[in-house]
């Protein structure tokens, strides 16, 4: 009994709730991992295949990024677990000494099925997911246990259970079946994790599914909360439903999730969506938006000075409100002779050393340096946004 109590206390100290807002459900938190502590709410840049596109790990450290997200499915295919084992884990393989969260591959299998013209390309079955490699066409099986095993080999600080994500809108019966399968897989994932865990600081998160159906979302959350996961994610949003529906899901699910565990909204999102989700009690975010938009020449910029920007984050947003930032389409002709920095309030070296005119020139001539500089700035914007949010919560403004 004493040993179990000690283990329980150790389990609980991985996440600390620092402060709760009096104006909203926003929280300040601290998440402890083997590779460092993470201050929440926080954003995770996407390093799907073990790299943030166009950036080195050192550059992400320069931006004061706390954690990255990589993917089980893609790393399983390339370079494969033999290479990762030989490299002694993903951290050493990619030369990143900070925390890593890895997605389980469930979303990628769903996405592969959605993109494929062949209906039988991906099969979600009780035992496992059966699919064909997009690289060489080889048949591959991914079970809940296998997904956890791979993430353990990767050395992930936060491991996600395998889930079934479905496109929205979806009918009630299909959504219910996917939600129930996700719950059964979650139980199997947890059992495997407990039997094979070696690094006691590794964490396993469950994923709430259920589409846009309130009854299914609540049932999924309640069933998963019976399993003592280290944290709980909300998945299956930003997959085709109206943005308003996503917030309705958060309003339904977040209040019943454990207060003493981190809450992760998967695949979200736009800056204003992140602000709104934080106000609803979410601690963790990831999205391809800042890096993908950077490669397509869309640059983020705060509209006001730093002090005014903090103020704009505290207002009550309408669903379509983007009032605290601008989107710069860098290839527009209006920037051809604009020798001002992208954002005079930004501290990243893109803004300090390069002008809008030069960045436009790089994109017009398809120079890869343009993609790199835009990516650095957009990630700086997102990470600065999270810092402003944390400061706003600390000062009682959010």
Which residue spans of the chain are classified as CATH 3.20.20.105?
A: 2-286
According to CATH, the superfamily of the domain at 2-286 is Queuine tRNA-ribosyltransferase-like (3.20.20.105)
Answer whether residue 309 shows pLDDT above 50.
no
| pTM to 2 decimal places | 0.93
Q: Please, how many CA atoms are within 13 Å of residue 86, restricted to the half-sphere of its CB?
A: 5
Answer whether residue 87 shows pLDDT above 70.
yes
Per the CB < 8 A criterion, the answer to whether 44 and 60 are in contact is no
286 is catalytic: yes
User: Residues 103, 157, 163, 343: which is the catalytic one?
Assistant: 103
Q: Give the tens place of pLDDT for each residue, 157-176.
A: 999 999 998 888 899 999 99
Indicate the average pLDDT of the chain: 90
**CA dist., res. 128 & res. 147, Å (int):** 10
- Name the pLDDT band for 54 (thresholds 50, 70, 90): very high
Q: Give the tens place of pLDDT for each residue, 270-299.
A: 999 999 999 999 999 999 999 999 999 999
**CA dist., res. 216 & res. 218, Å (int):** 5
* Average pLDDT of the residues in 105-127: 76
Share of the chain above pLDDT 70, in %: 90
For residue 300, the 8-state DSSP code is: E
Instruction: Output phi, psi for 84, to 5 deg.
Output: -65, -40
What does the pLDDT read at residue 3?
A: 41
Helix/strand/coil for 221:
helix
Answer whether residue 387 shows pLDDT above 50.
yes
Q: Who wins on pLDDT, 233 or 310?
A: 233
Q: Who wins on pLDDT, 6 or 349?
A: 349
**CA dist., res. 282 & res. 300, Å (int):** 23
User: Residues 157, 163, 283, 286: which is the catalytic one?
Assistant: 286
Contacting residues for 297 by C-beta, under 8 A, at least 6 apart: 329, 330, 331, 363, 370, 374
**CA dist., res. 45 & res. 189, Å (int):** 25
**CA dist., res. 248 & res. 145, Å (int):** 32
Per the CB < 8 A criterion, the answer to whether 185 and 162 are in contact is yes
The string of DSSP codes covering 142-169 is E-HHHHHHHHHHHT-SEEEPP-----SS
Pairing of strands 203-208, 158-160: parallel
* Average pLDDT of the residues in 19-31: 98
Helix/strand/coil for 327:
strand
């Amino acid at each position: 009994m004493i040993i179990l109590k000690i283990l329980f206390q150790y389990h609980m100290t991985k996440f600390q709730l620092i402060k709760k807002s009096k104006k909203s459900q926003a929280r300040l938190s601290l998440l402890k991992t083997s590779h460092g502590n993470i201050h929440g709410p926080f954003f995770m840049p996407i390093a799907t295949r073990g790299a943030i596109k166009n950036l080195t790990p050192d550059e992400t450290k320069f931006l004061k990024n706390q954690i990255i997200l990589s993917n089980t499915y893609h790393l399983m295919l390339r370079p494969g677990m033999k290479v990762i084992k030989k490299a002694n884990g993903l951290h050493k393989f990619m030369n990143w000494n900070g925390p890593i969260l890895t997605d389980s591959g469930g979303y990628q299998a769903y996405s592969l099925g959605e993109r494929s013209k062949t209906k039988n390309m991906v099969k979600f079955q009780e035992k496992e997911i059966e699919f064909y490699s997009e690289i060489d066409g080889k048949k591959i099986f991914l079970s809940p246990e296998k997904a956890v095993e791979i993430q353990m080999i990767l050395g992930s600080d936060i491991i996600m259970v395998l889930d079934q994500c479905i496109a929205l809108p979806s009918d009630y019966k299909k959504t219910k079946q996917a939600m129930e399968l996700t719950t059964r897989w979650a139980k199997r994932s947890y059992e495997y994790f407990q039997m094979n865990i070696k690094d006691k600081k590794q964490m396993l998160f469950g994923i709430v599914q259920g589409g846009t159906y309130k009854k299914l979302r609540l049932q999924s959350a309640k069933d998963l909360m019976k399993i003592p996961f280290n944290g709980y994610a909300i998945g299956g949003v930003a997959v085709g439903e109206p943005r308003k529906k996503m917030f309705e899901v958060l309003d339904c699910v977040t209040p019943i999730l454990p207060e003493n565990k981190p809450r992760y909204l998967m695949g979200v999102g736009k800056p204003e969506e992140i602000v709104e989700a934080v106000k609803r009690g979410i601690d963790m975010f990831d999205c391809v938006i800042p890096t993908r938009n950077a490669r397509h020449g869309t640059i983020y910029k705060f509209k006001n000075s730093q002090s005014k920007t903090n103020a704009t984050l505290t207002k009550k947003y309408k669903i379509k409100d983007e009032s605290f930032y601008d989107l710069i389409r860098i290839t527009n002709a209006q920037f051809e002779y604009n020798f001002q920095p992208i954002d005079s309030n930004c501290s990243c070296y893109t803004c300090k050393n390069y002008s809008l005119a030069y960045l436009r020139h790089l994109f017009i001539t398809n120079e890869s340096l343009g993609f790199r500089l835009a990516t650095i700035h957009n990630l700086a914007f997102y990470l600065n946004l999270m810092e402003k949010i944390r400061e706003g919560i600390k000062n009682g403004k959010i």
